[in-house]
Amino acid sequence: MLPYLSLANRLLEIAQPQPGQEILDVATGTGLVAIPAAQIVGSSGRVVGVDISKGMLEQAQRKITTLGLTNVELIEADADYLDFNDSSFDIIFCSSALVYLTDIPNSLQQWYRFLKPGGKVAFSCFAETAHTVAFMFRQKAQAYGIFIPNPNEPLGTPQKCQDLLKEKGFQNIEIVTEQLGFYLSNVNVEKLWNGNVIGAFGYQVKELPPERLEQLKAEYIAQVEATKTDKGIWNDATTFFVLGNK
């Protein structure tokens, strides 16, 4: 599985929040960024965590209560429709979730407004070729005339990240690229195929005539099998950690 806690910790390490700062964590989930950020900024700072999932926020709140933190506010809201005062935050974080927002340019424009002068946006995202077995599936499907959207594509290269931030006025843009990932060991390739087919949009391949569908399946399985090593199948998760100043 993807090490989302490690990604959150690395983003914090790169962004370097300071005591006394005011921080917004968009798509905070269970507080992987918000909670350690609150511990860093201390009682003179504050953290606001926003997420649309009530269940995740409840998990985050339990952690906050256990740790006795009093400088964290959790808000249940759609990250696409946030409304904070201008110049409210020193840093706005979004760990591994920006690609899931409906209108990324609009969100970045909002965040620019929410930041104090000199404030910082800090987000992480995956390369467009990340999640190898799913990437292979989309490539094979496209060869058969089926386009399956790649959720990583909008921010999938350092240049795309830089262009989006520049367009919204951000400066001093820094992008740290790290080749992360993990091996899928003892994996059943047939299950990988089934997982892609029943996933979002993958169902479209079922519209192929039976013979074409079987051909696509055989080609996909062969391609995945060809990547196997004694450690298993490498599932790339190359990640960009992106910073930009207002």
Q: How confident is the model at residue 200 (pLDDT cuts 50, 70, 90)?
A: low
Contacts of 105 (CB under 8 A, 6+ apart): 164, 167, 168
Contacts of 191 (CB under 8 A, 6+ apart): none
**112 close to 170: Cβ distance less than 8 angstroms:** yes
- The pLDDT, as a whole number, for residue 1 is 46
Bridge partners of residue 178, in order along the sequence = 239
CATH topology of domain 4-128+151-181+238-245: Rossmann fold (3.40.50)
d(CA 78, CA 82): 7
User: Tens of pLDDT along 129-170?
Assistant: 898 888 999 999 999 998 888 888 899 999 999 999 999 999
Measured in degrees and rounded to the nearest 5, phi and psi for residue 94 equal -155, 100
Question: 129 by DSSP, 3-state: which?
Answer: coil
**Taking 70 as the threshold, does the pLDDT of residue 82 lie above it?**
yes
